[in-house]
Amino acid sequence: MLNKNIYLILIISLVFAISFWVGFNVNLLPAEASINAPIYDELFKILFIIGLIIFIGMTIAVIYSLFKFRKRNDQIGDGIALEGNLSLEIVWTIIPSIIVLLIGLYSYNIYDRMGGMKELNHNHEMMSSNTEKIWAGISQTSDNEIAINNLSIEVSAMQFAFLFNYPKGNFISGELHVPVDQKVSMKMESKDVIHAFWVPEFRIKQDIIPGQPTILNFTPTKVGKYPIICAELCGPYHGGMRASIIVEEESDYNEWFNKNKKTEVNL
């Protein structure tokens, strides 16, 4: 009996060890390029490890049962008439409940750190002069932060392109240029059907819904060129609806901005 327990403990520790090793060493995610990304990857790692432990454990249990308790040719009759075990069933109700609850609280914490739980104040004078209702995407900030930020960009999504309007420079671009390490605030609107703004390296996605102008904020942390992908079926060319986001040093960004700026705005 003691022998059996030792094997059980050995197997369980092995499953844990493998899961932790895989969780920490196998990277399934793209590069991290926004302040959201490392937070997301932390959550992913935890869920990946817990998932692996449960999956490997259950798979071993099923395959072991099939092998160990298979009917041999000389055997007749039935297995043991075991109809249940209350304490065992209580254990595997309570433990998963606790795990699920902890995961829920933890992901709430993650979501809060991403800025998802902040209420958007409807202080409309900050968002131009109109009084339309603004919907909040994840990782929004308070309106005050948006107001002092000069990087507000207006995104228009249409079949099958994204257009980026820089109101401060009075120009429209097909590429999204942003400086690194600065909070970007975008107001997104759709001209026709539902689209979605997704940058995998930033770990953010927000649907762009016609009739619902939506604010989306993010802070890029790594210079580079990343794809912007439409993630909501929007018609035949949905797969081709892509754009690029170019994260660059502030000086490069300013150079690009000044080159494209239309001075007529001051006239």
32-91: which residues touch another protein (CB under 8 A)? 39-40, 43-44, 47, 51, 54-55, 58-59, 61-63, 65-66, 69-71, 75, 77-85, 88-89
How far, in Å, CA of 105 to CA of 111, rounded?
A: 10
Report DSSP letters for 169-232, one per residue.
TTEEESSEEEETTS-EEEEEEESSS-EEEEEGGGTEEEEEBTTB-EEEEE-B-S-EEEEEE--S
Number of other CB atoms surrounding residue 48 within 10 Å: 18
Scanning 14-22, 142-150, 199-207, 258-266 for contacts with another protein by CB under 8 A, the matching segment is 199-207
Scanning 10-18, 100-108, 164-172, 258-266 for contacts with another protein by CB under 8 A, the matching segment is 100-108
Q: Residue 73 or residue 266: which is nearer to another protein going by CB?
A: 73
243: enclosing H helix or E strand: strand 242-248
Shortest Cβ 179–another protein spacing (Å): 23
The verdict on 184 binding another protein (CB under 8 A) reads no
Q: Residue 13 or residue 59: which is nearer to another protein going by CB?
A: 59
Specify the amino acid at residue 59: T
- Position among 127, 138, 186, 243 found at the interface with another protein (CB under 8 A): 138
Shortest Cβ 251–another protein spacing (Å): 29
Nearest to 114 by CA among 55, 187, 183: 183
How far, in Å, CA of 172 to CA of 155, rounded?
A: 9
Shortest Cβ 254–another protein spacing (Å): 29
The verdict on 110 binding another protein (CB under 8 A) reads yes
According to CB under 8 A, which residues from 234 to 253 bind another protein? 234-240
Q: Residue 97 or residue 254: which is nearer to another protein going by CB?
A: 97
According to CB under 8 A, which residues from 143 to 172 bind another protein? none
Are residues 135 and 212 in contact, defined by beta-carbon separation less than 8 angstroms?
A: yes
According to CB under 8 A, which residues from 5 to 34 bind another protein? 28-30
The verdict on 227 binding another protein (CB under 8 A) reads yes
| Angle between helix 2-25 and helix 36-68 axes, rounded to 10 deg | 150
Are residues 16 and 56 in contact, defined by beta-carbon separation less than 8 angstroms?
A: no
- Position among 11, 193, 223, 246 found at the interface with another protein (CB under 8 A): 193
How far, in Å, CA of 186 to CA of 37, rounded?
A: 18
